[in-house]
Amino acid sequence: MRILVTGGAGFIGSAVVGELLAGGHEVRVLDALLPAVHPSGLPSAVPAGAEFRHADVRDAAAVEAALDGVSAVCHQAAMVGLGVDLDDAPAYAGCNDLGTAVLLAAMARRGVRQLVLAGSMVVYGEGAYRCGAHGPVAPGPRRAADLDAGRFEPPCPVCGEPLLPGLVTEDAPADPRNVYAATKLAQEHLASAWARACGGRVLTLRYHNVYGPGMPRDTPYAGVAALFRSALARGEAPRVFEDGGQRRDFVHVADVAAANAAALAALPGRPAGSTRAYNVGSGEVRTVGDLAAALAAACDGPAPVVTGEYRLGDVRHVTADSGRLRAELGWRPRVPFETGTAEFAAAPQRT
């Protein structure tokens, strides 16, 4: 099968391309090589054997040409991270939502009806919480006054007592809490509308915190794993925001690539006009402080520094229930946290 991978020169995209090539597929990559991720302007991460086309997913003519002979699309192209400030909002909406709309329109014209969409845990906002007295509840917006005072745990919105965090499922209501999250949710809605309108099939993979070799360094748009690794490469201590107790699910990029391959294999059997979302997580609940400490130890670097700083658009706890992906697509994570962080600590970062 010939597959178009948008964003296939990026961190996750290039891993997906490698996985698909290893599975015997023909792969065409379309990537804009955005400077925030590719400062060299070169597609250096694209695996040998893939066809590369340098174009923006918002370029309708280039996208339509890239769809020639393609059976399915794996849409990884996106501007990622929380951004620096609200001035980034037009760029996020343009790259993520306009780009997705252009791609879907071209797929409709060219008769390509199979799509794997790179989604994100950020659509949930905060994860799942339970109050001992009031059961499952959704915490309210984080308040700067609480965070300034070091009160990082969200209280029950009814009684104010501490909440117990749990695993979030795909059926949880969406609650995007920053611009990036809003654009990722919009991508899902656009894909769903496309599927209904033209009889397409969509599987959305909601990635949790992806890490591993090939992450870009020294960019404010990178994930926390890349920021910690970049600091250690400079001989600096990782700076951990809040108190380091934020719960996350860190999933290795190789496991994410395998999830994409499993989703592509499952697409032909899905009903026309259907969509389905899957969490992609390791199943291991860790804290941000755990990650910083593991990387510092593996790099033999300085111990992390807990700063108490925060970003209002961050969430406190969000961890994955990936049972649906395991049960329906037969996927299993293969890389344990200890193995993955040791590998990541030793691997060069993309410059």
Cβ-contact 120, 187 below 8 angstroms? no
Side chain identity at 334, as an amino acid letter? R
Could you report how far apart the first and last alpha carbons of the chain are, in Å?
A: 32
Q: Model's pTM, two decimal places?
A: 0.96
Summarised one tens digit per residue, pLDDT across range 218-238 is 766 668 999 999 999 999 999
Helix axes 337-346, 288-298, angle to 10 degrees: 50
For residue 247, the cross-strand partners are: 287
Question: What distances in angstroms separate CA 54 from CA 6, 76, 203, 343, one per listed residue?
Answer: 10, 15, 26, 30
Instruction: Give the pLDDT band of residue 313 (cuts 50, 70, 90).
Output: confident
Catalytic residues: 180
Cβ-contact 160, 188 below 8 angstroms? no
Cβ-contact 185, 174 below 8 angstroms? yes
Summarised one tens digit per residue, pLDDT across range 42-88 is 888 899 999 999 999 999 999 999 999 999 999 999 998 766 568 88
Cβ-contact 51, 76 below 8 angstroms? no
As a whole number of angstroms, the distance between CA 171 and CA 276 comes to 11
Cβ-contact 206, 121 below 8 angstroms? yes
As a whole number of angstroms, the distance between CA 14 and CA 346 comes to 19
Summarised one tens digit per residue, pLDDT across range 136-152 is 999 988 999 999 999 99
- Nearest partner of 27 among 200, 190, 257, 350, judged by Cα: 257
- Give pLDDT, residue 220: 62
Output phi, psi for 162, to 5 deg. Answer: -60, 150
Q: Work out the mean pLDDT of the chain and round it to a whole number.
A: 94
